């Protein structure tokens, strides 16, 4: 005897609305934590990243939404966050150097890492302490962003075709 289990897909419209509200609230929290350009890039991004992680960690809907994301809305949020971060990195062009990969690539990697580490912490079987997650995320994000803004960090290049 075979039993078929049929799961009804979640209501896409409702899920999309939840994601939109969640992402808008998250953007507002991060914008409120942004000290502006009065701080150096590292302090500013640390404050923004910390606010992002803390909000996601504490929000009651985070675990459910991140466990079953509306992939279109999540991808759109990541792209917007990466574009904003790249703009902030490029905005400091006086201190930033032309790095390969571009600021867009560094920003995309940093945002993806932030989302993945936080999602793993929120949806995992055992929750790490919030400040540990904040510290882990910032350490990875900073490591990814330093080559885009620090003139003294070596970027190792290979001759074309050596890959």
Residue 7 pLDDT more than 50? no
**pLDDT value for 103:** 84
What is this structure's pTM? 0.78
Mean pLDDT for the stretch of residues 88-108: 71
Return all residues near 20 (Cβ < 8 A) that are at least 6 apart.
Answer: 73
85 — pLDDT class (breaks 50, 70, 90)? very high
pLDDT at 8: 42
Rounded average pLDDT over 44-51: 95
Burial label for 49, CB within 10 Å (0-12, 13-18, 19+), is buried
pLDDT, mean of residues 13-28: 84
According to the model, what pLDDT value does residue 5 have? Answer: 41
Better pLDDT: 82 or 161: 82
Query: Which is higher by pLDDT, 153 or 46?
Result: 46
Give, in order, the Cα–Cα distances in Å from 65 to each of 24, 47, 99. 14, 24, 35
Amino acid 148: pLDDT = 79
């Amino acid at each position: 005897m075979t039993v078929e289990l049929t799961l009804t897909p979640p209501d896409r419209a409702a899920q999309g609305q939840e994601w939109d509200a969640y992402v808008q609230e998250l953007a507002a929290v991060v914008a409120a934590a942004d000290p502006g350009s009065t701080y150096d890039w590292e302090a500013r991004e640390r404050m923004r990243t910390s606010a992002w992680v803390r909000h996601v960690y504490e929000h009651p809907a985070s675990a459910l939404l991140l466990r079953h994301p509306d992939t279109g809305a999540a991808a759109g949020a990541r792209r917007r966050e990466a574009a904003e971060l790249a703009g902030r990195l490029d905005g400091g062009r006086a201190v930033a150097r032309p790095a390969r990969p571009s600021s867009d690539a560094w920003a995309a990697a940093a945002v993806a890492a932030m989302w993945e580490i936080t999602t793993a912490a929120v949806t995992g079987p055992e929750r790490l302490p919030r400040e540990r997650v904040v510290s882990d995320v910032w350490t990875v994000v900073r490591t990814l962003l330093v080559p885009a803004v620090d003139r003294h960090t070596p970027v190792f290049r290979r001759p074309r075709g050596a890959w």
